[in-house]
Amino acid sequence: MKSVLTESSAGIYCPAGNFYIDPRRRVPRAVVTHAHMDHFRQGCGEYYCSSSSAELMRLRLRGKPKLTAIDFGSRVALDDVTVSFHPAGHVLGSAQVRVEAAGEVWVVSGDYKRDQDPSCEPFEVVPCDTFVTEATFGRKGAKWKPGGVVMGEINDWWRENRRSGKVSILYCYVLGKLQRILAGMSSLCDREIYVHRDAVPYNECYRRAGIELAPTVVVPRKLDGRTLDGALILAPPKYLQPSWYRRFGDTVTAFASGWMGLEDSRKHGYEKGFTLSDHADWGQLVKTIEETGARNIRTHHGDATELNDYLAGRGLDVSSLNQP
């Protein structure tokens, strides 16, 4: 029996449905798990995504793309294949792709997490025969605290800096992580949070989707004698530049990422790190794989050597997809 999904230089390919999942190059038909740029390419003939990801996809795609939005759980036929989207818990609208053909069910996870996150739909376990799982943090050393605990740490850090009259600059990815922090801080903070203008369109998408975010104000291009003493600023990592942040006066920098649980923040130029990941840690990966009931596991996105060895030791058929 032919495989429902195959490896291709352009991405994961479904011959019976003639589509690619999260393609790495332009293809005629793209099924996209979520709106992060490393999961789709500009210029594809047509796109399929979850309904709650559609606005973000349109924001990131140039021109007027041919895009079909599908509600979570709804099944659609693409040639000889039935496809549906199911929540992945990574960012707003992020999806796992369920592919059913010739009596087999495959699920491609995309990026996912199991931690509670008020800024996106919670992860849904989808039973399948073959599970294609991300392995970004497929190592036993990856173990995250609950997101709510980390939000408290961020708030305490901000309060301490505020007492010293310092500006707290927390760097985070502009789509997903930044909104997760705003959603988590909405019940903790008693003042507005400054955000870089790059985040504004994404914040608006989240608010229109009904996600409650902390009140925000855009970082002004010019301070004109104003002071931001005690402020919390959220900004993308590309603005970790003295020419950008020195104008705020006495600042303290930090980075929010799962990598901060495995690496020294100072190595990357930050004074502090908060371990806040939108990817599953080791325990969440193993738990998810077990709960799908899949006997065949394919790993991708990351060094899965340790995870593959562990799963093989438990009697599963496991291998890694080719990396781009």
The model carries a pTM of 0.95
Domains of the chain: 12-141+279-320 (3.60.15.10), 147-274 (3.40.50.10890)
Selection from 156, 159, 172 nearest residue 275 by Cα: 172
Q: Output the pLDDT for position 3.
A: 85
Q: Is the dihedral of CA 242, 244, 248, 251 positive or negative?
A: negative
Q: Output the pLDDT for position 62.
A: 85
Q: Output the pLDDT for position 324.
A: 43
What's the CA dihedral at 317, 278, 276, 141 to 10 degrees?
A: 10
d(CA 204, CA 231): 21
Q: Is the dihedral of CA 17, 23, 29, 35 positive or negative?
A: positive
For the chain, strand residue ranges (E) read 12-14, 19-21, 29-31, 46-50, 67-70, 75-78, 81-87, 95-101, 104-108, 130-134, 167-171, 193-195, 216-218, 232-235, 251-256, 272-274, 296-300, 317-320
d(CA 46, CA 68): 8
3-state secondary structure of 160: helix
CB of 297 within 8 A of CB of 318? yes
Which residue positions in the chain have pLDDT lower than 70? 1-2, 322-324
Measured CA distances, 119 to 176, 186, 206, 215 (Å): 8, 11, 8, 14
